[in-house]
Amino acid sequence: MDGKERSETGSFESPEHNRYFRQLILPGVGEEGQKKLAQAKVLVVGTGGLGSPVLYYLAAAGVGTLGIVDDDRVDVTNLQRQILHWEKDLGRGKTESAGEKLRAFNSTLTYHLYPERLTEGNVETLIGNYELVVAAVDNRETRRILNHACYRLGIPWIDGGIREYSGTVTVYVPPRGPCYECIHGTHAVRPAGPIPLLGALPGVIGSIEAMEAIKLILSIGIPLNGRVLIYDAWAARFEEFIPSEDPACPICGKQSSS
């Protein structure tokens, strides 16, 4: 069939229908679900090891508008895990490199590039036009900034973390808790320096982040809000942690003003 799919009537459908055919026939998606994906606006913060699979799979699913935030440049040490960036991209800005690959991969979508660092000063401007934020970052400070801003604006966000042989994914849906501050507010700050990890690990965790984003857009399945999914690559095992809300949390607690 030359890679094309036929409709029930036997005729070939449009190129776009063919592209998304395998998810169009999926329960919970269909034509209406594909329209939701096409109309969705998702901001991805970070284009590295986690951001690469997140962006690839959101683009593959047909998420209509993707915002991409990253102020970093491609370094040779990135190539072990950051599959959006190639040898020819060394020294280039990561948003420019990512945008080029994604446009070649799915040219029907809209991509907005933000080659800047997310800060308390620009966070609301960056996230304000999006319905969902996916964090693909490697530092606690950016997560805390995102958490506070997303709870102020009522925007769901997804967080993924990786280190050595393990990774985690969590979904936060304001105003419900627990939020990032509830779970991580009192945790010790990790030592500065490169994070040791195998290159395939962010592929696993980033793919789960993308799946959770698609579920939220389509309102299907059971999202990970209120749960932390833990992947142990060493033992090839998934576990789940149910954190408690902190009533005194300054972000989502009963006394918070966000």
Token pair listed for 198:
């195998």
**Maximal C-alpha separation, the chain:** 61
Judge contact between 116 and 71, C-beta under 8 A: yes
Bridge partners of residue 225, in order along the sequence: 171
- Spatial contact of 124 and 155, defined as CB atoms under 8 Å apart: no
pLDDT for the residue numbered 185: 76
In a structure prediction context, what are the per-residue pLDDT tens digits for the chain, which is 258 residues long? 344 444 443 333 677 889 999 999 999 999 999 999 999 999 999 999 999 999 999 999 999 999 999 999 999 999 999 999 999 999 999 999 999 999 999 999 999 999 999 999 999 999 999 999 999 999 999 999 999 999 999 999 999 999 999 999 999 999 988 999 998 876 656 666 788 999 999 999 999 999 999 999 999 999 999 999 999 999 999 999 999 988 889 899 875 655
Q: What is the CATH number of domain 40-241?
A: 3.40.50.720
Q: What is the pTM of this model?
A: 0.92
Question: What pLDDT shows up at residue 11?
Answer: 36
- Helix, strand, coil percentages (3-state) for the chain, rounded to 5, are 35, 20, 45
Amino acid, res. 201? L
Task: Decide if 125 contacts 113 (C-beta within 8 A).
Answer: no
d(CA 140, CA 146): 10
- Quickly list DSSP for 142-202: HHHHHHHHHHHHT--EEEEEEEBTEEEEEEE-TTSS--HHHHHTTSPPPPSSPPPB-THHH
